[in-house]
Structure 1
């Protein structure tokens, strides 16, 4: 993930933010000359239109944006119902990353290939999420495990995306003081690095049926199925 791609992501995010802002501001101007039933219908369509725009970009960019979308889909107290219903789709599994990428990450983090570490490694992921995907595998000692592998360069991507999200929130608060989401983004800035550290995640797991096997890899997690 080069800086060219980082800047492309940034341009897409800020472009969409501007499009949505202009869309709503234009509707605010128009509704002054409308009766309430027509105004309500136009606002409903605007929410649906912009929710789809946000959803499509979040799916494209993945990472932090999917996590943010998942969080926002639970905030019916803040967002219109159109956003809630559309963003809830982000709770479903995302398209998996190529198996070659998974193998590269494992070899980079652990210093050995999947063939050296595992008797068997299922190429089809058990689950996919915003920052990682999970595979069934069998260790050399024949122990059945699941392996959680972070996506390539996801740490750099998420930290840059956080900067973008913070900039957009600050801009909205300046342009529309009644909408201040800074506390929410500030909390995300604190939590994101912890979510990227799988060793930290292991320390906080307490499912009685899982025994976590902590390896040195920052972006690899293996856990026993026994």
Structure 2
């Protein structure tokens, strides 16, 4: 993606920010002359209207904006319910990138084509996210794996988008001090370079697995401090490609599937509470 497209993205972002700000400011002035029921109805419509605007632009721009939308969808303590319900749709898979792009990145990063590296490679991704998509594949030795492939040019795009997001957040914090997301953006600016290098993710996966005492599902020599959790083995990593051992699983919010496989929901809740405490 050239700088021309970067500037177009920037123009779209700042234009929408201004449209939404003017929309809300105009409503603030109008509501002074309204009764509360009518005012509440207009605010509800405004939230829905602007949430859809934000959602549509985030889907169009992808990258950082999807990640930001996913974060904001969890902030019911700050945002109106219309934003939460609409932005939650960003938790689902996004439209995939072309398979040709995936093959180019793999060959560039690993030095061989997908046909040379894999017996089988599913062209349809298992999942698509803000910076990468994941495919199921089979290595030459017949081991089942998942391959996480970073989108082309996403690093440059995200680093530029971060600058735009910080400018908007700082402006909002100045104009409306009660909405100050500056600490969040500052943290993202520090973390983004590491998230865009899958070697860091690979190393973190190995470290967590070692610290929790995780072993293979079929290993009888389990360490004393083993935690009852499986973490996929890292097969290979580069900056833009990560290959992990395939492990089937169920999303925590898929209650029907969890019940069908006999999962202990109470135990899952307790483990998540512990995880949250460790990360606070």
Instruction: Give the TM bin, normalised by the shorter chain.
Output: 0.7 to 0.9
Query: For residues 223 and 37 of structure 1, do their structure 2 counterparts lie closer, same or farther at Cα, with a shift above 3 Å needed?
Result: closer
The whole-number CA distance in structure 2 between the counterparts of 1:223 and 1:178 is 27
After superposition, the C-alpha distances for 1:187-223 in whole angstroms (9 at most, x for unaligned) are: 111222222121111222xxxxxxxxxxxxxxxx999
Backbone CA RMSD of aligned residues: 4.7
Bigger shift: 13-22 or 168-177? 168-177
Gaps of 5+ in 1: 205-220
The whole-number CA distance in structure 1 between the counterparts of 2:123 and 2:177 is 49
Specify the alignment match of 2:172 in structure 1: 172
Query: For residues 186 and 64 of structure 1, do their structure 2 counterparts lie closer, same or farther at Cα, with a shift above 3 Å needed?
Result: same
TM-score by length of 1: 0.88
Matched residues, number: 210
Q: CA deviation at 1:141?
A: 2.1
The whole-number CA distance in structure 1 between the counterparts of 2:140 and 2:109 is 18
The whole-number CA distance in structure 2 between the counterparts of 1:77 and 1:26 is 24
Query: For residues 154 and 224 of structure 1, do their structure 2 counterparts lie closer, same or farther at Cα, with a shift above 3 Å needed?
Result: farther
Task: Tell me which of the two structures has the higher relative contact order, counting C-alpha pairs closer than 8 angstroms and 6 or more residues apart.
Answer: 1
Q: Is the 8 A contact 1:145 1:224 kept in 2?
A: no
Query: For residues 142 and 82 of structure 1, do their structure 2 counterparts lie closer, same or farther at Cα, with a shift above 3 Å needed?
Result: same
Bigger Rg over Cα: 2
After superposition, the C-alpha distances for 1:101-148 in whole angstroms (9 at most, x for unaligned) are: 000111111121111211211111111111111111111222221100
Q: Is the 8 A contact 1:145 1:223 kept in 2?
A: no
Q: Is the 8 A contact 1:114 1:121 kept in 2?
A: yes
The whole-number CA distance in structure 1 between the counterparts of 2:43 and 2:163 is 30
TM-score by length of 2: 0.71
Query: For residues 224 and 72 of structure 1, do their structure 2 counterparts lie closer, same or farther at Cα, with a shift above 3 Å needed?
Result: closer
Q: CA deviation at 1:53?
A: 0.3
Specify the alignment match of 2:279 in structure 1: 225
